[in-house]
Structure 1
């Protein structure tokens, strides 16, 4: 036995093994949120540089990075994208509950009814507590995923309006023009242009996934049917 092996305690081994196990069990979310953090930091850095270039064109002093994070320029860019993402996901969750696409890996089968395990009488001791109850608690829990996604959409929409108003008024100030109110900005074509250019792209991407998964495959992905599955087969 080497000196290092003798000094290594079982507790350390178990701790390292537990950490590796947690990382393995949560690898997908860790990878996605790591990418999110990396990209939003890069967005903030490049956005800061863009804004300072614009300020320089108007003869204004450059802004600090930390102050840039509190500006409408940053908030508008972030929340107009979050808004469309949560709208797309919330709508997708609801639409897939009621509509089908024959042959798509993203759809339940055309003749599939509500799953028996969705009913409270099929709940077990291991089922989440709200799923074992009746009334409003059960109703809210049955629809909690869509509710939370649409709540995030609403918060992002509101943040887009507020951030967009701040950014619009800063542009107005640089041009020596008067500011506008939040409701005025909300009713403007500028705000809705920003929203629609994101909304349409989100639904295009989802629609492409729904249709392409009928004919194309990705080995090992739960978003794809088995490689050998016929095109007419719906779902996984």
Structure 2
């Protein structure tokens, strides 16, 4: 168990922090929603009901959507775009191991089994990371849309207004405002990390270049 925790400490810690933050969001969102309902002289709802409400679903997947978009875009853009001096960029003037043809490693017993299998399976496996991230973005976008539609309709019923469909919600500026306000911050953060990593260091972190590396050094 100790070895397992050591070898997987980073992912375990991140997922624990995720769960703690999600629980915090649920509890504080529930309280905030109860206050909003009280102001409209409506009865508060229980926590289980709140977790299936548009208020919670929309807020959760609005953020997931932007995160998965950021990661998918970064993975795909770093295939053919470079940033000289950045730790996470491929070297623009040298051969990079990421571009190696996987068929060359077919005889390697340690290679993943799709490499040995070849064919369509290998082609899919060769792009499995971007496929997974794009799929998670599309799913999160759809759930954000569904949650926003549900939240809008819940508010419409409270004010005796007409409800909207998901297709109609796509034409609403408020929905796209929710998306763009997160998208811009995600692209800004990854761009800032990329550029700051050229000149600044964090000793011991694989996301940083070695402390003594020159600013012009690209990659690890």
TM > 0.5 between the two? yes
Gaps of 5+ in 1: 1-18
Q: Distance in 2 between matches of 1:110 and 1:121?
A: 23
Which ranges of 4 or more aligned residues in structure 1 deviate by more than 6 Å? none
Q: Distance in 1 between matches of 2:185 and 2:116?
A: 39
SS at 1:191 equivalent = helix
Task: State the partner residue of 2:190.
Answer: 206
The answer to whether the aligner puts 1:128 opposite 2:116 as a matched pair is no
Q: Is the 8 A contact 1:161 1:191 kept in 2?
A: yes
Q: Is the 8 A contact 1:104 1:211 kept in 2?
A: yes
Task: State the partner residue of 2:143.
Answer: 159
1:88 to 70, 78, 82: 70
TM-score by length of 2: 0.96
Q: Distance in 1 between matches of 2:110 and 2:94?
A: 25
CA deviation digits over 1:25-83, x for unaligned, max 9?
A: 00000110000000000000000011111111111111101110010110000001000
Gaps of 5+ in 2: none
Q: Is the 8 A contact 2:54 2:147 kept in 1?
A: yes
- State how many pairs are aligned: 218
Task: Identify which of structures 1 and 2 has the higher relative contact order when contacts are C-alpha pairs closer than 8 Å and 6+ apart.
Answer: 2
Q: Is the 8 A contact 1:94 1:146 kept in 2?
A: yes
Per-residue deviation, 1:102: 0.2
Larger radius of gyration: 1
Q: Distance in 1 between matches of 2:100 and 2:5?
A: 29
Per-residue deviation, 1:141: 0.5
